[in-house]
Chains A and B, each alone.
Chain A
């Protein structure tokens, strides 16, 4: 047996301190709020798990959660295939490769609130190119009037903003595939689809996992764009979880319920990421273990 060396703890102490100040301590203040009723800066009452119970029973919150799930799922369903398709159609080398890379990356450089503003103007029926074109075509479109239009606009905005990230990740993954694989496939007489199905897709598994996790977490926390575009409306059609949280915490100053809700929100993201990660790890390796090593 190796001797146990307790000195290792000293070496990770700086990390523990960093994490404590950047993550654990702020989180603990939230935990602190979540179990108290703060009436005024001087008066506070310990209420135990009461906030958690009331938050869980809140219909508005359950509505926001469902809306959020639907939105994140739609984001993944659109952005991942679209990103892969985009990466496959991007040129591999030469000056056009660099030019296309820059073009594709442009939307990633735009801040969230600017994206919201751009689309707010772009979608207006009177002066916006998108909205006016739709109006000319006779399509009744209004992101301020129709819940469906508002929801679709937010989705479109996210797709426009973030599909390039998926595309760039996939592009990097595709470039990492050695030429020999394509040569062998060409010798073996594989069709374009077979090359995609048996070479490119399996080799993209790693970057796709990162892309899915990033896009899931990010879209699950979406706040700025709907805030700028619709303010969560019409009604509460685009009130996602973080909108709802902000309304509670900043709008109504209900610190206790907002803190309890934050913690639940945090746990939901953690849980879903864990499930997603494990599922994607298993895809493509599961039958590996199943197919009898021995």
Chain B
């Protein structure tokens, strides 16, 4: 168990010149000892690269990785004492389930009786006890992935356990169960866990701190509520939430901020307003969907202009008890309020109440 500090950049190409050449742009980040972290971002954003750099499978082309203040950049995964679980199950075909689980311990020369005890515990935790003597090769994909998870968790003294989208091949109902199990393990063992995923629900429910990444950049590190209420970057606002944050050119919102300022407001915080109320815009409803407990209304602010630019769309979540405007009607929506954020060049400049 240790604190992990990163100060690095990585490019798979030999001589990176521009930002696009980097898999990971220069970043500084710390993972506290015993914390549960998630790396969240779309495919190709560099989250797996970051994970592999922490484990030592990939060496960063610039910078250092430190465990508890000691530089481990040149060390192998084994020397770093890292456990990692991969996206697709990796099992040793010729071994039984028990031998698979014991493999990381056996390679480190742990005494046989301790191996047996520990394998028993892990198997019980992952509900594999009944299959211990079976050949791992004959099992279904989710059982194989449970073995992979088990091999990641079987060592108690690891610096950190890293998960690279480990639940991709698992059935949805089992996913919930395993994620709860991982949280429980985190509580019991106080291991540092880093969990890579592109699923925001998975990230937000699993982790205490979520690192949101896009295009090789870590744009925000924060708790679920920080990411939701105060996205530091328009990408975070867009990526977190379902649907994502509305972004409107500030001029249409009649806000005094000068320049190319963009207003961001979550669909959850937009409300119906009286005509010409301050901080409200008028829009034509183009779609109204009943999502069960609420309505999702999409409205167009103004009309497409002659230059071909499309008029901005506004997505609004309205409670079922409110007067839902019909498609084709115009309505006024309050977009400036306590939860409105202001952005310039995609970066948060202010989060404030209505002017």
Do A and B truly interact?
Answer: yes
B151 interface hit (Cβ, 8 Å): yes
Report whether A198 and B90 are in contact in the complex, using a CB–CB cutoff of 8 Å.
no
Q: Could you tell me the distance in whole angstroms from the C-beta of A124 to the nearest C-beta in chain B?
A: 48
Report whether A186 and B77 are in contact in the complex, using a CB–CB cutoff of 8 Å.
yes
A251 interface hit (Cβ, 8 Å): no
Q: Could you tell me the distance in whole angstroms from the C-beta of A178 to the nearest C-beta in chain B?
A: 8
Residues of the B chain whose Cβ atoms lie less than 8 Å from the Cβ of A138: none
Q: Could you tell me the distance in whole angstroms from the C-beta of A196 to the nearest C-beta in chain B?
A: 12
Partner of B107, one of A190, A203, A291, A292: A190
The docked-state distance in angstroms from the alpha carbon of A26 to that of B269 is: 86
Report whether B104 and A188 are in contact in the complex, using a CB–CB cutoff of 8 Å.
yes
Report whether A288 and B76 are in contact in the complex, using a CB–CB cutoff of 8 Å.
no
A199 interface hit (Cβ, 8 Å): yes
Give per-residue flags for B124-151: 1 if the beta carbon is below 8 A from chain A beta carbons, else 0: 0000000001110110000000001001
Which residues of A168-191 have CB atoms within 8 Å of chain B's CB atoms?
178, 180-181, 183-184, 186-191
Report whether A287 and B108 are in contact in the complex, using a CB–CB cutoff of 8 Å.
no
The docked-state distance in angstroms from the alpha carbon of A115 to that of B57 is: 46
B84 interface hit (Cβ, 8 Å): yes
The docked-state distance in angstroms from the alpha carbon of A288 to that of B76 is: 34
- The number of chain A residues touching the other chain, given as a range, is 20 to 34
A183-B86 in contact given A190-B103, A191-B107, A198-B92 (Cβ < 8 Å): yes
Q: Could you tell me the distance in whole angstroms from the C-beta of B93 to the nearest C-beta in chain A?
A: 5
The docked-state distance in angstroms from the alpha carbon of A198 to that of B92 is: 6
The docked-state distance in angstroms from the alpha carbon of A287 to that of B96 is: 10
B205 interface hit (Cβ, 8 Å): no
Report whether A186 and B134 are in contact in the complex, using a CB–CB cutoff of 8 Å.
no
A187-B84 in contact given A198-B94, A199-B92, A284-B94 (Cβ < 8 Å): yes
A184-B90 in contact given A198-B95, A288-B135, A292-B133 (Cβ < 8 Å): yes
B83 interface hit (Cβ, 8 Å): yes
Partner of A183, one of B57, B95, B96: B57
Partner of A202, one of B55, B93, B138: B93
Report whether A184 and B108 are in contact in the complex, using a CB–CB cutoff of 8 Å.
no
The docked-state distance in angstroms from the alpha carbon of A170 to that of B149 is: 30
Look across to chain A and name the residue whose beta carbon is closest to the beta carbon of B52. A183
Q: Could you tell me the distance in whole angstroms from the C-beta of B325 to the nearest C-beta in chain A?
A: 52
Report whether A184 and B86 are in contact in the complex, using a CB–CB cutoff of 8 Å.
yes
Report whether B96 and A291 are in contact in the complex, using a CB–CB cutoff of 8 Å.
yes
A264 interface hit (Cβ, 8 Å): no
Look across to chain B and name the residue whose beta carbon is closest to the beta carbon of A283. B94
Report whether A180 and B107 are in contact in the complex, using a CB–CB cutoff of 8 Å.
no
A16 interface hit (Cβ, 8 Å): no
The docked-state distance in angstroms from the alpha carbon of A7 to that of B52 is: 58
Which residues of A262-294 have CB atoms within 8 Å of chain B's CB atoms?
284, 287-288, 291-293
Q: Could you tell me the distance in whole angstroms from the C-beta of A138 to the nearest C-beta in chain B?
A: 48
The docked-state distance in angstroms from the alpha carbon of A291 to that of B95 is: 11
Which residues of B82-104 have CB atoms within 8 Å of chain A's CB atoms?
82-84, 86-88, 90, 92-96, 103-104
Report whether B94 and A180 are in contact in the complex, using a CB–CB cutoff of 8 Å.
no
Residues of the B chain whose Cβ atoms lie less than 8 Å from the Cβ of A189: 78, 104, 107-108
The docked-state distance in angstroms from the alpha carbon of A119 to that of B135 is: 49
The docked-state distance in angstroms from the alpha carbon of A190 to that of B102 is: 12
Report whether A187 and B83 are in contact in the complex, using a CB–CB cutoff of 8 Å.
yes
Partner of A186, one of B76, B94, B95, B151: B76
Residues of the A chain whose Cβ atoms lie less than 8 Å from the Cβ of B96: 291
Report whether A184 and B94 are in contact in the complex, using a CB–CB cutoff of 8 Å.
no
Partner of B90, one of A181, A202, A293: A181
Residues of the B chain whose Cβ atoms lie less than 8 Å from the Cβ of A191: 107
A287-B90 in contact given A187-B84, A188-B104, A190-B107 (Cβ < 8 Å): no
A100 interface hit (Cβ, 8 Å): no
Among A189, A194, A288, chain B packs the most CB atoms within 10 A around the CB of A189
Among B78, B84, B88, B90, chain A packs the most CB atoms within 10 A around the CB of B90
Report whether B77 and A187 are in contact in the complex, using a CB–CB cutoff of 8 Å.
yes
Q: Could you tell me the distance in whole angstroms from the C-beta of B17 to the nearest C-beta in chain A?
A: 23
Residues of the A chain whose Cβ atoms lie less than 8 Å from the Cβ of B108: 189
Look across to chain A and name the residue whose beta carbon is closest to the beta carbon of B55. A187
Q: Other CB < 8 Å A-B pairs besides A184-B90, A187-B55, A288-B138, 6 of them?
A: A183-B84, A184-B86, A189-B107, A189-B108, A202-B93, A284-B93
Can you sample 8 A-B contacts with CB below 8 Å? A183-B52, A187-B57, A187-B82, A187-B83, A188-B104, A199-B92, A292-B134, A293-B138
Give the top 7 A-B pairs by smallest Cβ distance, nearest first: A189-B107, A184-B90, A188-B104, A189-B78, A288-B135, A198-B92, A202-B93
